[in-house]
Amino acid sequence: MTVTEPAVPSNPLTLLYQDDALLAVHKPAGLLVHRSPIDRHETEFALQYARALNGGDHVYPVHRLDRPTSGLLLFARSPDIARQLGEQMMGRQVKKTYLAIVRGWPAAEGRIDYALRDEPEDRRQKHQPQVSRNAVTDFQCLGTGELPFEIEGYPTSRYALMALSPQTGRKHQLRRHMKHISHPIIGDANHGRGRHNRFFAHHFGEARLLLAATDMALNHPVTGERLMLSVMPEAGFVTVADHLGWGAILRSRF
């Protein structure tokens, strides 16, 4: 009788950088960073896969990425390093940049300074009064494109490739800020525009949130030197960017 060993799932994380203090990976869209009260049924998390890349030893997430957001995710390899990086985050010494594909043509650059109410983890509490906190995002429009399709009453539909740099760390900040300036991120089910989301899902085969964490700059907690980390968005994002004529712009950044 032949016994078949159960299949071991491949690790969905891609290792980007590792030293004695840090572990940086690329997280695909759709993967939770860690266990959440609103996703109790989930059994796979970036935290466990990062631990596997760390030889089975514990790792400590320095920041978070929303489940539908892909990209650069940084872990500390000890509690002390995690504490030091947390202090850098609080002191705004860590610079993070995201790329997003949005509806419309925004200004060439600007700053969104718009306070956001806390979003409770428990959705049953969302109608209760919540604290409003300052939130600031800098943005730059990297490229614009137009498609010959009528989606919202216009003969063509306009889109833009954006670089977004959050100066604060509020929950869903980038998604909510882009909605606030009427340029929602494509694929955002909660803060976006359903017609455009459905169009991208049908026309490009991409129903995912087109938001990717691509760059991070921080002071190395051991050497003190400035460390620059970057990663190209995953394939689905790149495919859409190519169709909209931004392939060269995108690739020139990495």
Give the active site residues. 66
DSSP the chain: -PPPPPPPPPP--EEEEE-SSEEEEEEPTT-BSS--GGGTT---BHHHHHHHHTTT---EESS---TT-EEEEEEESSHHHHHHHHHHHHTT--EEEEEEEEES---SEEEEE--EE---SSGGGTTS---EE--EEEEEEEEEEEES--SSSSSSEEEEEEEEEESS--TTHHHHHHHHTT-PBTT-TTTS-HHHHHHHHHHTS--S--EEEEEEEEE-TTT--EEEEE-PPPHHHHHHHHHTT-HHHHHTT-
- The rounded distance, in Å, linking the Cα atoms of 160 and 194 is 17
